[in-house]
Structure 1
């Protein structure tokens, strides 16, 4: 009864609320309806259905959940409690109207209540604590574990959209976190810093506090949960193996597994790339990281290999840092000794004592150096002939040094010995052939056929290389050996090596030749002492004596020679404005015979210079002019005073330095005119030139003469460093030629100024924009002869104009090459023209 009263009380309140909501149009006739209601919120009125006679009441059936109903008499649809989206999202109901007898009037109509979710559930992790393992040096951003949380709210709304983050990081030895998490997937991976610094030797366990928020983490009203993640850091699997040793010439079936590498990540693709560019790389790697050698190796071909192993993911990106693999090919004894020469020839003098080292038998082994595989042993296997006895020779077994055993060899007993030397290593052996040549000892000295070759006289101008004497000595030692070959030398009397002696090796004949020019004035007589020696040293008890020495006298005959200039050319730089009779330079020449020398000039076409015939002093004879000739070349002549036919010449080059001695001028390459009548605003270019040398570029100043009439009629304005504009100041000009006085300044040092009267024509112009010449028509037509004369005159004028234009263009081209700035200015003039 109390419950019923409570419900009636609630309905009364709701009725009052309904009266207030009537203006909001929440009532209407019975029909199908959909309602969207947020979960929670408590009791509420959804709608009021109005009765239509004969209906007097309503009835509801369906998924009421114990809290959804309709008031039969008033038709108020209400919820007496709180809906829960997580329990049921849609409630399907049927409503019908009844008459007084309880019979159905209308319906049933469908009433559907859609429950709308509100964010009323915090996210929850699916584990109370997570555990993960990460390898040292793992790729940054590559997940090694995941955390996962769920939210009971509607997944189609932000209420269940979750965002992960790392709140804390224990311990945290670096400013940046060693781990990172994907805020959408919960994937945990090393950060870039972690990939570099994670090391189980320093810190093996880390605890991460991972947070998850709903509402995508975008609002402070989001629900938050957290969980601990325990991460164990383990040593990296990705390590280069130790140096790999492989025996050469292996007989195993290839490929042979020689090592293995492991990546920190599964399902990677292993690959090899070369460090060196080789014709082929005899190694491969399997999909599991097993490294193979694919063929037998030869240490003598290549004793070490270096290559890299890399790992890639399925997109081709590198996973781990490349590992460098070193392979050493170990030696086996697979190479026999090799004689360094097919035949070793050793020369031994007859007087060599027993025990002397006479040579070395050289052999090599391609096996590894300084190992037993390449250790060689030497042994004499045979000696031919075995005369005068066996075992004349001994070989050191470890070095191959060949020695005489006890007695000196005699050439008359045998000139040659043939040895077979056995060379062995621990497995192979080779025979090396050796010939021992017995050489005659140098126990005979050269003996001259003459002890004095008397004397020879020759002119001092005899050419170098002339043979002046043939000499001969003989030697009793074995021919064609160093003991019998004779070397001739001037021992005394030739301090300056004026003579040389060449030997014919076949006949031992000597040829004395002039090595340097003879000079009677320096050395009129040579008393030469010549000795003869062998290149091979004499035996100890034999010495050279007077028989190996001869004498020879050379008398030099004087020849009258022309004077000699000590310098091949004489040069001087002088300023072009030096006064006449200025000393320019002094030239000197001497006569080998001590005769007096006189000087003169040849080629002085400008008569600029004169020379003192006795002293060689050169003076200016007339004013110099650089603009006439900048480099002035003539010749100085030096002749003997007593024999003028004996003379020598030397070039004299005078370089004239410029001074500013030429005033500027107006260029007259083209006429200056204005078309009549003058309308105002016209202007024409005028150009200044200067014959002086322009060291950088020309620079002129233009101005009008300080005359009243000139300044009233004309004005001048600068265009560039070499040109200016001339303009009429008014239009009241007559048709005639005007003299316009223009003052030019070349800005030199010192500056020169020039006043020039420029003739300016005011004339009627033709269609070609040139002055029109009116023909006098008062007379009759010209005769044929006159016409021909006029035509020839016109052709001559045209030819002169073309020649002037050609010269002007050449002049401009030269200036443009010499002065880039002027060239630019002239290009601008051409454009304006």
Structure 2
């Protein structure tokens, strides 16, 4: 223990302060009464004394003099830092360097202390030199470097670099594209959250919508239109907005953060980025290309303009320069393409879009650059010689590739010449705007001229074309067909006569011009053939008619046909001329009966019986009828094993002896249904004596772990021969474990799906008992233990490891193999022992 009154300087300060060292090495300062000191001398030391007493808990570390570093938070007032212990002959300490009137040391005790507050913003590091001195003031140890690092505390609010900000935004600006920035600073340590700033919009005046029209990047302070703002900003409705923007330090993560605010006044201006009106370009321009056709302006400076094709063309005949000027690069042809659509876009230097794409629409305007074109090289028109004046006899069709419904494609028609010019040169007239040809008078006469050639001038406002028209004068249909016979009497045919057989040739003549519709004859059954049993074909050169059988004859249905045949022309008769009895003829057909064999009601009779049924069991009944109505008798043919018998009257077939499918895999007989002529029909039979079984190359598997929804296809088969498709019924064995884990669903007659009911299966082989029934009479059943693998799968969805099978008894083949292996081992051992014994005997 030592007392402060033992110190020499300053004695008045220490005589009332004593220091005790406790067991743990800490110092305890005892504060006494200092009232006897003079006020002038006492004040600074009294303050320190009181501070020392009040901050007694801060002095907890002492140690020898050496180089040391201290980190001390800024502010906080008078505090102890450290106490250096003296080693004889040292009796005091001295501190020099960057004390700045704040840091000092008590010479006699070595206590390093603060007599004021540190300030990080003023000085972040203080570097001192401390040394110990002897009684004469000579250096004993040191100087040693003591560095005090001032720790920053959040004691400065952020400050904007402007009191008020102003900015300009264009209507329809792209959302998220900044148009201005705000900036704030914080005097605190930038490496700490104290100076990490976060920006936000506090108020938005006015705010006519539910969402703000502007947004701010909370880190960079960039202000841009929101998605709503990009759509709704309109200077015609509101051209000025005021935003109250705040900035918070501590990264905005605590309520104790300092906050500052500033006003941002934003002016909305009309968008420069607008699509031009529809651009119209005249086709086949003779100007020097490229030609300036329009210009666009971005809302942002220094953008890169580009064209984006809407249509996939081999080459787009448009370009744009970096001033937004749009050019057409070559003459356009409206007849090849009359409209174009593309987009103009702006990008920044990173390739990102700046503005919304503008849709550009170009219409190619027509000029009269196409002559009229005749639809046909020669237009042929037929007109009857009795056509009256003003009759429309046909239309000349011509086209123009210029734009429809414009003067460029308006066509006019005019007859230039008529050859021959008889009986007059103006027999024909053509309507100027429609191309419809008309007769000017009733003057056509085939005997004077059978053909006329016309040259028709077709013109638009610039071009002319000559089209050729040929007018054929055809004879009028003023003669009716006349049969050479009014009655062809009758013909007798058998009902078995094949369809297509000609049974009669008929002939009528027509006095009109040969080879025309006025003279061609069409023969038809006018009466007596309601079912079209017969048909008449005409030879186009001779007009001879051939009556053919069109449908099978049936004596029982119709034994006699009384036919009335008429002859007509495809061309209408002229007014005043009518068909009469001369164009009619009579014809009678007698059909004779042919004895037809009985006919079975079915083409094949199918039956299925078990091979172990008793003798005299009814297998099936066959039935036939005779077209003539005669009695049908039944018999069997080919029953070599005498297994069947048939009732000759009823057609009922019975077993005559025991059946055995193993003796005859397919037992076929013929059932004969006979009238006086006789006939037969084959009746196939198969005995169903084999139960169904699974027909699968490999057992089903599911990939582990199951995800739900899996299913495996299983198939059944039957060794029995069947004359129709086999049908099987699938089910699961009626036990709780099987029904809780598996389900089966039918796919078709031979297939079904097996599905797990849940996904909680282990990796192993499961035996699933499946029951299969066939459709035999009686049906047979087989129960199969279906092995289902639950296994890990490869990427190809197949098992890549052999799944460990459950323990079970070996199959018959496995048992034989095991027995053979055991006998082989026993035999080898026996031979070895025998040889060894013989060897010993020899020795």
Show the counterpart of 2:360. 325
2:421 maps to 1:421: no
Deviations 1:397-421 (A, max 9, x none): 1111100002230011111111111
Show the counterpart of 1:162. 197
Deviations 1:206-251 (A, max 9, x none): 3332222345445555443221222334454444443333322223
2:597 maps to 1:563: yes
Distance in structure 2 (CA, Å) of the matches to 1:565 and 1:530:
36
2:564 maps to 1:533: no
Match for 1:476 among 511, 515, 518?
511
Distance in structure 2 (CA, Å) of the matches to 1:322 and 1:463:
78
Show the counterpart of 1:733. none
Show the counterpart of 2:654. 620
TM-score normalised by L of structure 2: 0.67
Distance in structure 2 (CA, Å) of the matches to 1:449 and 1:433:
44
2:626 maps to 1:590: yes
Distance in structure 2 (CA, Å) of the matches to 1:90 and 1:570:
114
Assess if the C-alpha contact under 8 Å between 2:615 and 2:655 holds in 1. Answer: no
SS at match of 2:605: strand
SS at match of 2:624: coil
Match for 2:388 among 353, 360, 363?
353
Give 1:248-397 correspondences, 5 Å limit. Answer: 248-397=283-432
Deviations 1:330-357 (A, max 9, x none): 2222222111111000001111111111
Quickly say closer, same or farther: Cα 1:600–1:16, change in 2 above 3 A: closer
650-659 vs 304-313, which moves further: 650-659
Assess if the C-alpha contact under 8 Å between 1:568 and 1:651 holds in 2. Answer: no
Match for 1:439 among 465, 468, 474?
474
Unaligned stretches of 5+ in structure 2?
A: 1-37, 693-717, 735-765, 772-777, 783-811, 828-843
Distance in structure 1 (CA, Å) of the matches to 2:144 and 2:210:
67
Quickly say closer, same or farther: Cα 1:566–1:81, change in 2 above 3 A: closer
Assess if the C-alpha contact under 8 Å between 1:14 and 1:45 holds in 2. Answer: no
Show the counterpart of 1:650. 681
Match for 2:261 among 214, 219, 226?
226
Distance in structure 2 (CA, Å) of the matches to 1:768 and 1:53:
101
Deviations 1:767-824 (A, max 9, x none): 54579999xxxxxxxxxxxxxxxxxxxxxxxxxxxxxxxxxxxxxxxxxxxxxxxxxx
Quickly say closer, same or farther: Cα 1:773–1:520, change in 2 above 3 A: farther
Assess if the C-alpha contact under 8 Å between 2:59 and 2:80 holds in 1. Answer: no
SS at match of 1:373: helix
Show the counterpart of 1:187. 222
Quickly say closer, same or farther: Cα 1:362–1:93, change in 2 above 3 A: same
Deviations 1:104-124 (A, max 9, x none): 999999999987766554332
Give 1:507-586 correspondences, 5 Å limit. Answer: 507-558=542-593, 560-565=594-599, 567=601, 569=603, 571=605, 580=616, 582=618, 584-585=620-621
SS at match of 2:673: strand
SS at match of 1:647: coil
Give 1:476-495 correspondences, 5 Å limit. Answer: 476-495=511-530
2:484 maps to 1:449: yes
Assess if the C-alpha contact under 8 Å between 2:243 and 2:265 holds in 1. Answer: yes
- How far did residue 381 of structure 1 move? 1.3
Match for 1:462 among 475, 492, 497?
497
- How far did residue 540 of structure 1 move? 2.1
Deviations 1:430-471 (A, max 9, x none): 111100011011222333334444444444433333333333
TM-score normalised by L of structure 1: 0.67
Assess if the C-alpha contact under 8 Å between 2:644 and 2:657 holds in 1. Answer: no
SS at match of 1:225: strand
Show the counterpart of 1:668. none
624-633 vs 440-449, which moves further: 624-633
Distance in structure 2 (CA, Å) of the matches to 1:14 and 1:700:
101
Distance in structure 1 (CA, Å) of the matches to 2:680 and 2:137:
157
SS at match of 1:254: coil
Give 1:669-748 correspondences, 5 Å limit. Answer: 695-696=728-729
Distance in structure 2 (CA, Å) of the matches to 1:763 and 1:39:
95
Distance in structure 2 (CA, Å) of the matches to 1:78 and 1:214:
32
SS at match of 1:636: strand
- How far did residue 285 of structure 1 move? 2.9
Deviations 1:508-545 (A, max 9, x none): 22233333344445444444443332222222233333
Quickly say closer, same or farther: Cα 1:201–1:566, change in 2 above 3 A: farther
114-123 vs 98-107, which moves further: 98-107
Deviations 1:586-641 (A, max 9, x none): 5132244x55443323344555554443x443242447869678987543323334
Distance in structure 1 (CA, Å) of the matches to 2:576 and 2:143:
154
Distance in structure 1 (CA, Å) of the matches to 2:190 and 2:770:
89
Assess if the C-alpha contact under 8 Å between 1:380 and 1:419 holds in 2. Answer: yes
Distance in structure 2 (CA, Å) of the matches to 1:110 and 1:224:
40
Show the counterpart of 1:755. none
Quickly say closer, same or farther: Cα 1:226–1:435, change in 2 above 3 A: same
2:176 maps to 1:145: no
2:291 maps to 1:242: no
Distance in structure 1 (CA, Å) of the matches to 2:161 and 2:265:
15
Deviations 1:664-703 (A, max 9, x none): xxxxxxxxxxxxxxxxxxxxxxxxx9999994479999xx
- How far did residue 390 of structure 1 move? 1.5
Distance in structure 1 (CA, Å) of the matches to 2:480 and 2:211:
96
Match for 2:167 among 122, 126, 132?
132
- How far did residue 367 of structure 1 move? 1.8
Q: Number of aligned residue pairs: give it.
A: 688
Quickly say closer, same or farther: Cα 1:300–1:656, change in 2 above 3 A: farther
82-91 vs 459-468, which moves further: 82-91
Show the counterpart of 1:670. none
Distance in structure 2 (CA, Å) of the matches to 1:178 and 1:216:
25
SS at match of 1:390: coil
Distance in structure 1 (CA, Å) of the matches to 2:687 and 2:133:
138
Assess if the C-alpha contact under 8 Å between 1:562 and 1:647 holds in 2. Answer: no
- How far did residue 424 of structure 1 move? 1.6
Assess if the C-alpha contact under 8 Å between 1:626 and 1:658 holds in 2. Answer: no
Quickly say closer, same or farther: Cα 1:766–1:361, change in 2 above 3 A: closer
SS at match of 1:433: strand
Distance in structure 1 (CA, Å) of the matches to 2:189 and 2:553:
123
Q: CA RMSD in A?
A: 5.5
Deviations 1:337-383 (A, max 9, x none): 11111100000111111111100001111222222222221111111
